[in-house]
Structure 1
Amino acid sequence: MKKVVVLSDNHGFDDILDEIKILEPDADYFIHCGDSEARRRQLLDGMICVAGNNDWGIDLPRYAKIQIEDLKILITHGQYYGYFSRQQLMEVDLKKHDCQALFSGHTHIPDFSEKDGFYFLNPGSTTLPRGGSSRSYAVAMIDGSHMDVEFKEL
């Protein structure tokens, strides 16, 4: 079983990155789903990171793929999925990349669902929540190809 800390959308509030690492010292992985707006690449050291639509000053990829236990995970910010057919576009991307789970941010609203054998995780925003949510990140426990998620408020 692996513990995966997933965060997104801190929008330049860099101190929160170190804070979360201190809060979750036993994590096996730290994943950032974009819009870190980190002023220095060193702030993201030790994290698997992708670029968000506001990450202008730092060179990060649009996608990252990782396998944890038996679960293939696609990581992206999520700005290209829109709002009206978001779930369908995410499923298309998962199939295209041969993955079973998608970690993405962008909406600033925490959400976790499972549909048709796929997992969808959005950790929300660590600093600028929307939709009545609180500042948050997610902790995913992955055991084989199964994933359970807990949202943590900041």
Structure 2
Amino acid sequence: MKVLIMSDSHGLTKEIEEIKNRHKDEVSLMLHCGDSELSHESLELASLTVVKGNCDFGADFPNDVICDINGSTLYLTHGHLYQVKSTLLNLKYRALEVGARFVCYGHSHIANAEMIDGMIFINPGSIRLPVLRRQKTYAILEVENSIANVTFFEVNGTIVEDLSQQFSL
């Protein structure tokens, strides 16, 4: 199963559409980790599972979503409610509460994938305002058997090799 993950688009529309169209035939699920700054009725967000970020004022999105992917739990949130800019500990505790194997979040605009206590934490970065690198990024999580691949892409579809990782489950 493949899952498209993007975050922190901060008002972009054309880029969201391009990313969706590029991968629509290969992914089973498309996620937006918040701060789209678009309305709930926005056509660009159609077909995406979206959570509310700290810049999504008045948006009618949930703070978090729990999904099933291949029998494992994926937890989706923006991250601002868990202080992810300073620590992942609070988010880890929430992920443990819901039994998550995969945790997708944004807020910091820092692209990263790491395993913490058997859970894979994925921040796709930002497709508008990246932090700590120049590439504007999103990610695809592919889960097959006991392997999880997280591949990062620039907005134009170029793979970012130095961020992409493989994890054993």
| C-alpha distance in structure 2 between counterparts of 1:149 and 1:41, whole Å | 28
Q: 1:145 Cα shift? A: 5.8
Q: 1:36 Cα shift? A: 0.5
| Aligned Cα root-mean-square deviation (Å) | 1.4
Corresponding residue for residue 161 of structure 2: none
Corresponding residue for residue 38 of structure 2: 38
Deviations 1:44-93 (A, max 9, x none): 11011100001114200000000110220100000122233x22112101
Contact 1:69–1:145 under 8 Å retained in 2: no
In structure 1, what residue type is equivalent to 2:18? E
Corresponding residue for residue 70 of structure 1: 71
Task: Give the SS at the match of 1:16.
Answer: helix
Once the two structures are overlaid, the 10-residue window that deviates more, 118-127 or 42-51, is 42-51
Corresponding residue for residue 4 of structure 2: 5
- Runs of 5+ consecutive residues of structure 1 not aligned to the other structure: none
| C-alpha distance in structure 2 between counterparts of 1:132 and 1:99, whole Å | 28
**Sequence identity, in percent?**
31
Task: Give the SS at the match of 1:128.
Answer: coil
Once the two structures are overlaid, the 10-residue window that deviates more, 18-27 or 122-131, is 18-27
The residue correspondences of 1:17-56 to structure 2 (distance < 5 A) are 17-25=16-24, 26-39=26-39, 40-56=41-57
For CA contacts below 8 A with separation 6 or more, give which structure has more relative contact order. 1
Q: 1:18 Cα shift? A: 0.5
| C-alpha distance in structure 1 between counterparts of 2:134 and 2:88, whole Å | 20
Q: 1:34 Cα shift? A: 0.2
Which ranges of 4 or more aligned residues in structure 1 deviate by more than 6 Å? none
Corresponding residue for residue 115 of structure 2: 114
The residue correspondences of 1:88-127 to structure 2 (distance < 5 A) are 88-127=89-128
Aligned residues: 152
| C-alpha distance in structure 2 between counterparts of 1:9 and 1:133, whole Å | 15
Normalised by the size of structure 1, how large is the TM-score?
0.92
Q: Structure 1 residues 144, 41: CA separation in 2 closer, same or farther (over 3 Å shift)? A: farther
| C-alpha distance in structure 2 between counterparts of 1:143 and 1:48, whole Å | 22
Deviations 1:117-153 (A, max 9, x none): 1110000001111112410100110124642101001
